[in-house]
């Protein structure tokens, strides 16, 4: 301020007895504000987008500046504003760099791991849940689906390598699209077969019904593939599908250098066996008893029992027909 204005301000304060003062507790209050702002910014930066977090940080700084101005103009109380506002800016920059360098790196790692198995919408849910992929697993009830291309040996004898590759990739693409469309997790491809499961990594209460609807969708997509003009001179495709529900260990299996998100357990073996039994029973989709009991809105038919190695009691099996 110019010297004359400083003198006029001083005289005015003396004449009207409006003196500036600074309470003894002001440094404590200012420090408490900086700590509280840092904690709130930590929560904000970790949970919302950086653009929204920057708006909130600017709001904190403006709120403190306005409060300082009001305290000075109305009550003659002087409080430090430059240091707290600078602290907000420095804290926000530091937290943003931390988020981009660590938190977002972890989320990008989750997205990179799971985008091979899940639909984009499911990947977004996994990233939002902050469930980091680690080596190991958990016990959970899953519904497992195995889908295999029938007559693959005959196809491989009739077609050259290029045509066979095109047919198999078309089949796997159709099956994968149907699985992802119904919220399934693609586990692996084994030659001309695909394995998928539901209710992991996120919980899906209707996992049995979702798997069965995905199986019906696979059949519809294969029929559309058979009717496609580019498939006109190729053999007709048929698929066998086995679905079973049960307790499995699901998680990341492998080594510290490479691991895959997968499921293992007796329920998985039964689903694979049901898929192979579709040829014996001339049925497109076979279900285990727990899947048939949990599925809703779809028609199932009991077709007998299946004797499994290592089991004293035979396994009841069902055929999935269509929507009820």
Which distant-in-sequence residues (6+ apart) come within 8 Å of 114 by Cβ?
A: 122, 123, 126, 133, 201, 261
* C-alpha torsion angle, residues 171, 173, 179, 184 (rounded to 10): 130
**Domains in the chain: boundaries:** 3-114, 133-323
The class (CATH top level) of 133-323 is alpha beta
pLDDT tens for the chain, 324 residues long, are: 788 888 988 888 889 877 788 888 888 888 888 888 888 888 888 788 778 888 888 888 888 888 888 888 788 888 887 888 888 888 888 888 877 776 667 677 677 767 766 667 666 766 666 555 554 678 999 999 999 998 887 888 888 888 899 899 999 999 999 999 999 999 999 989 999 999 988 889 999 999 999 999 999 999 999 999 888 888 889 999 999 999 999 988 877 677 778 899 999 999 999 999 999 999 999 999 999 999 999 999 999 999 888 777 899 999 998 754
Q: What is the pTM of this model?
A: 0.66
Among 188, 215, 228, 199, residue whose Cα is nearest residue 275: 215
């Amino acid at each position: 301020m110019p010297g004359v204005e400083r003198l006029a301000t001083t005289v005015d304060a003396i004449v009207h007895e409006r003196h500036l003062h600074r309470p003894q507790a002001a440094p404590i209050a200012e420090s408490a504000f900086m700590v509280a702002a840092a904690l709130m910014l930590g929560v904000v930066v970790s949970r919302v987008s950086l653009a929204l977090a920057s708006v909130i940080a600017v709001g904190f700084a403006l709120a403190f500046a306005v409060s300082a101005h009001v305290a000075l103009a109305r009550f003659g109380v002087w409080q430090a504003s430059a240091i707290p506002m600078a602290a907000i800016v420095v804290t926000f920059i530091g937290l943003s760099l931390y988020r981009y360098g660590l938190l977002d790196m972890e989320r990008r790692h989750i997205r990179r791991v799971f985008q091979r198995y899940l639909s984009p919408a499911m990947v977004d849910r996994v990233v939002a849940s902050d469930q980091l992929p680690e080596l190991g697993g958990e016990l959970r009830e899953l519904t497992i689906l195995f889908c295999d291309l029938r007559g693959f040996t005959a196809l491989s004898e009739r077609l050259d390598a290029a045509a066979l590759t095109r047919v198999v990739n078309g089949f796997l693409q159709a099956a994968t699209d149907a699985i992802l469309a119904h919220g399934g997790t693609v586990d692996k491809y084994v030659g001309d077969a695909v394995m998928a499961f539901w209710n992991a990594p996120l919980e899906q209460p209707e996992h049995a019904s979702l798997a069965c609807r995905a199986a019906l969708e696979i059949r519809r997509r294969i029929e559309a593939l058979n009717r496609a003009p580019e498939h006109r001179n190729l053999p007709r495709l048929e698929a066998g599908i086995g679905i079973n529900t049960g307790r499995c260990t699901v998680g990341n299996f492998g080594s510290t250098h490479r691991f895959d998100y997968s499921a293992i357990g007796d329920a998985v073996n039964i689903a694979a066996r049901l898929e192979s039994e579709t040829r014996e029973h001339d049925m497109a989709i076979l279900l285990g008893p727990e899947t048939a009991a949990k599925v809703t809105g779809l028609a199932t038919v009991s077709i007998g029992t299946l004797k499994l190695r290592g089991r004293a009691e035979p396994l009841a099996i069902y055929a999935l027909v269509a929507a009820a």
